[in-house]
Amino acid sequence: MKGSILTTLALQCSMLALLAFGGGINTVVPELQRQAVDVHHWMDARTFSDLFAIAQASPGPNMLIVCLVGLKAAGIAGALVATIAACAPTCLLTFVVSGYWDRIRASPWRAVVQTGVAPVAAGLIAASAFLLSKSADHAPALILITLATAAFCYFTKRNPLWALGAAALLGLTGLVS
């Protein structure tokens, strides 16, 4: 049983990483959530939003949300398998392509691909924002926290960690949920 969870994790995380074009892990959050919550029932949507927040607030690449999904699904083995599976295919691709980059960079197709996937990535990140907020905002005060963080991050160039830290402190007081 656990072996099959690890296989599923490995396959899903590799596929997701290869589809993370133009906006990093945030573009594949809708699919990761669909797999983890709806398809495989490893957790509920609220837990997924919590884990996503922990990954945002931790040092290192934000893609480590896959590490936490693996941890919840299959313990520490799951965390390591998910992380390695999410890194291996894209790292191999970078390893191979980096030698040819000067030639690819000059090709007109490069600009077309980059321009073409940008709005798709923006739409997918908007979907991530909606799904994460929907499952996180289960009290009126939490909706206010989401809106305040969005405004803070959109209108100022400050580190988002200030907003996350302020929210965490507010949450510790027990006033918001």
Partner 1 sequence: MASQPAPAEQTPSLFELYLGFAQISVSAFGGALPWARRILVDRRKWMEPEDFASTLALCQFLPGPNIVNMSIAFGNRLHGWRGALAAFFGLMAAPVVIIITLGLLYLRFGQIGSLKGMFAALAASAGGLIVATAAQMATPLIRKTPVTAVPIIVGGFVLAGLLRWPLPAVMAVLAPIGLILAWRTRT
**Binding mask of the shown chain, residues 13 to 42, with x at each position contacting partner 1 by CB under 8 A:** --xxxxxxxxxxxx-xxxx--x---x----
Q: How far is the CB of 2 from partner 1 (least distance, A)?
A: 17
Q: Measured from the CB of residue 23, what is the shortest distance to partner 1 in angstroms?
A: 7
Among 2, 7, 11, 58, indicate the residue that binds partner 1 (CB under 8 A): 58
**Segment (H or E) for 33:** helix 29-33
CA 84, 126, 172, 156 torsion-angle sign: positive
The C-alpha atoms of residue 154 and residue 53 are separated, in whole angstroms, by: 18
Tell me which residue of 106, 63, 105 sits closest to 85, measured CA to CA. Answer: 63
Amino acid sitting at position 73: A
Least Å distance between CB 103 and partner 1? 10
User: Does residue 167 touch partner 1 according to CB under 8 A?
Assistant: yes
- Tell me: does residue 11 bind partner 1 (CB under 8 A): no
Token output for 126 = 């908007």
* Candidate list 55, 73, 81, 85; residue touching partner 1; CB under 8 A: 55
